[in-house]
Amino acid sequence: MQSPQRFSVGRSETNWADQIGRRENRRTFFILASLATVAAGLIWWWDPTERHVPICSFYRLTGWYCPGCGGLRGAHALLHGRLAEAWGYNPLLVLLAPWAGYGLVLWTMITFWPDRRLPGRWLYGPWALVLVALMGVLFGILRNLPWEPFCQWAPGP
């Protein structure tokens, strides 16, 4: 059995399977980055406070705010640099925005420079995703409690 054909790329040797995998990763990256850019542009341009936004299905069924309620209005305010307004709509969004932003930077760096040692990769392991999900559930419960300061976590009008 022969080993995969190896060829030289710059200073390092890489086999063809690695090159195809990297090409597919970059293609996926460009597609998802393009979609995220279009979505961010639409959220920046389209003001959900002035136009009709459908009511959250969870809120409609239960009368409770879900962890994402106010997220669209909060993302619009955050993209316009209005942090206090974004906090009023959804504090969890404001708290997780730096984490998500650094994750996008790491994803970009890993896609184009996979062999590079990058700080903070441990922040995006499986346990971190479980922790973020638990934060979302806890936030969803606490924001529906009628006591201070939790009642202030409900999305603004």
Tens of pLDDT, residues 54-107: 888 899 999 899 999 999 999 999 999 999 999 999 999 999 999 999 988 888
Distance CA 53, CA 62 (A): 18
pLDDT higher than threshold 60 for residue 10: no
Instruction: Label residue 7 by pLDDT band (50, 70, 90).
Output: very low
Instruction: Label residue 50 by pLDDT band (50, 70, 90).
Output: confident
Between 72 and 53, whose confidence is greater? 72
Instruction: Render pLDDT for 123-153 as a digit per residue (tens, 0 to 9).
Output: 888 899 899 999 999 999 999 998 888 888 8
Helix 91-112 / helix 126-142 crossing angle, nearest 10 deg = 160
Contact partners, residue 33, CB within 8 Å, separation at least 6: 108
Under DSSP, the state recorded for 9 is E
| pLDDT value for 11 | 47
SS3 content of the chain, % helix, strand, coil (to 5): 65, 5, 30
pTM of the model: 0.76
pLDDT higher than threshold 80 for residue 14: no
